[in-house]
Chains A and B, each alone.
Chain A
Amino acid sequence: MCSLPVPREPLRRVAVTGGTHGNEMSGVYLARHWLREPGELQRPSFSAIPVIANPEATAACRRYVGRDLNRTFTSLFLNTRATADDPYEVTRARELNQLLGPKASGKAFDFVLDLHNTTANVGTCLIANAEHNVFAMHLCRHLQLQSPELPCRVFLHQLPGEESYSVNSVAKNGMVLELGPQPQGVLRADLFSRMRALVGSTLDFIELFNQGTAFSAFEMEAYRIVSPVDFPRTEDGDLAGTVHPQLQDRDFEPLQPGMPIFQMFNGKDVLYDRKTTLYPVFINEAAYYEKGIAFVQTEKLTLSVPALPALTPNPTTIP
């Protein structure tokens, strides 16, 4: 397996984005706070800038206004000519591409950390594109070690061959912090504090790296996307049932063949008919009903992550 090139220079240009979905309140309130008081985002070797990624959706407290901003950073939208009919988020994606990108160019930001909430019971979830992103894997490990009492799971969300589409993909590197469960439009103090601490630890990790720290190789569990599963639906496309009570809130727990996954409104149970055990994530996320996703199947892997070499000639190795 070949790895993505690790950074060979300090990371100087870092952004933290909140309000990519305007009703995911931890990131919205954190970004608003940091726009007024950016001190917390400063480190000796760099400062992260806070950005409200989707200001109109944030003002309306909605996920999006025209289309999901976090699915709009593909070349189809970024590189085509602007028209008067473009949805708000297409225009905004192009603006963010100018601010934080351009995507896939040498001028792009070094790292974008994107803040999200979900109605699903994922706890603390770190979402990276794939395991060959060695820098991101070491960052995940660092975050796990900061709160050993709290399960902090790594979800690799990109399908093979799929073009990246999210806010953090415009930068050279990036990751998503996803905390749940939190209803849309609600701000929970516990998740807010946890998100704030995770951002702080992320910036601490980048600072450590910039100061010439090397990080040893290690092994880590991760959950890699297999495929989504839709709700049972009527001919009109409406829901015919919902997530079974025995699956509800069981994100990251093994789902075995024969276990109930849906409860139909007529009372019948639908059982899981795959031949292997997989691990469901994003179970009953409100925003995914319209995307045809009741939950996402993942496989659990043990990753062997190679060392992250230090920037300077005299490394201080942290095991």
Chain B
Amino acid sequence: MTSCHFAEEPIKKVAIFGGTHGNELTGVFLVKHWLEDDAEIQRAGLEVKPFITNPRAVKKCSRYIDCDLNRVFNLENLGKTRSEDLPYEVRRAQEINHLFGPKNSEDSYDIIFDLHNTTSNMGCTLILEDSKNDFLIQMFHYIKMSLDPLPCYIYLIEHPSLKYATTRSIAKYPVGKEFPSCAIEVYKIMEKVDYPRNESGEIAAFIHPNLQDQDWKPLHPGAPVFLTLDGKTIPLDGDRTVYPVFVNEAAYYEKKEAFAKTTKVTLHAKRICSSLH
């Protein structure tokens, strides 16, 4: 038997979420299809459950009903007393936590894949919340290799002051088959940049045509970032090159994010294997 870093139980239960945002249709229609015919997502020894997380928003084809479901999975919301006065998405988060969690417990699902779309030109993106998790790094490495030569970018959103409280965080992550140690390049979030606004808070400049659709491409200090209504260019401040993501995502106008600055980082994962062999 090989010895390895993690010798825990193999993964038994996986969930695939679609419709966390009701208007992000790839996940909605994939999950709806798999709910009818799940042959292509089944694997030996694994229970894979497709699930529509925000059915009311899906029916309405809007991102959310009361608030963003993908921002409410924190312990405070999950612990509130269930009541009709709570926003729909908070009540829904509590139901999802009960079905697939509870968060931080032994009974929770092992992995959750949450499927999203963006209006930004980000291609294929995997979002990672934990830079220390060997299993996840190994899994992302595997996915990247499988998709090659199609580019697959990894966005690391772990940040001391960033609280996402997403659906992803309620599962735990034990290990699988042996994979040798590996390294992956990821784009780590530095900060979010809002649109320039006027005194009334309205957007006063838009994403510059040179930045539009240029997610993941290096953006150098002094390069155009915003264009005002009267044709003035606002350049990138600071003294370092950054990698912009979520450039001009429709749903982020209200979150005051025109794009996010990231920096390239290499993450390493140790060799991993399951405990069964």
- Partner-B contacts on A (CB < 8 A): 29, 32-33, 61, 183-190, 192-193, 238-239, 242, 265-266, 289-290
Contacts and interface: CB of A to CB of B under 8 A. Distances in A.
A186 B248 contact: yes
11 contacts: A29-B206, A29-B229, A183-B250, A185-B253, A186-B119, A187-B207, A189-B207, A189-B227, A190-B209, A266-B37, A290-B61
Contact of B29 (A185, A186, A265): A265
B202 A187 contact: no
Interface string B207-240: 1110010000000000000010100000000000
Contacts of B143: none
Nearest to A33: B229
The 10 closest A-B pairs by CB, nearest first: A185-B250, A183-B119, A265-B33, A186-B250, A189-B206, A190-B209, A189-B209, A189-B227, A187-B206, A186-B119
Interface of B: 29, 32-33, 37, 61, 119, 202-203, 206-209, 212, 227, 229, 248-251, 253
Contacts of A61: 253
Contacts of A29: 203, 206, 229
Contact of B250 (A184, A190, A192, A239): A184
A239 to B, nearest CB: 6
A63 to B, nearest CB: 10
A109 B250 CA distance: 35
A238 B208 CA distance: 38
A184 B248 CA distance: 11
Nearest to A62: B62
A183 B207 CA distance: 14
Nearest to A265: B33
B24 to A, nearest CB: 11
Contacts of A265: 29, 32-33
Contacts, number: 46
A33 B251 CA distance: 22
Contacts of B61: 289-290
Q: Which of A29, A190, A289 has the most CB of B within 10 A?
A: A190
A188 B248 contact: yes
Contacts of A289: 61
DSSP class of A's interface residues: helix, strand, loop or mixed?
loop
A32 B212 CA distance: 22
Nearest to B227: A189
B253 A188 contact: no
A61 B203 CA distance: 14
Contact of B208 (A32, A184, A189): A189
Contacts of A184: 250
Nearest to A287: B61
A185 B250 CA distance: 5
A242 B30 CA distance: 12
A204 to B, nearest CB: 19
Given A32-B202, A266-B37, 9 more contacts: A29-B203, A185-B119, A185-B250, A185-B251, A186-B119, A189-B227, A193-B209, A265-B33, A266-B33
A187 B207 CA distance: 8
A33 B205 CA distance: 12
Nearest to B33: A265
Contacts of A183: 119, 250
Q: Which of B208, B229, B253 has the most CB of A within 10 A?
A: B229
Nearest to B213: A188
Nearest to A289: B61
A236 to B, nearest CB: 10
A151 B32 CA distance: 39
Contact of B32 (A32, A185, A238, A266): A238
Given A185-B119, A266-B37, A192 B206 contact: yes
Contact of A189 (B202, B212, B250, B253): B212
Contacts of B251: 185
A50 to B, nearest CB: 14
Contacts of B227: 189
A190 to B, nearest CB: 5
A239 B29 contact: yes
A187 B248 CA distance: 8
Nearest to A23: B250
B29 A242 contact: yes
Contacts of A238: 32
Contacts of B37: 266
Contacts of B29: 239, 242, 265
Contacts of A33: 229
Nearest to B249: A186
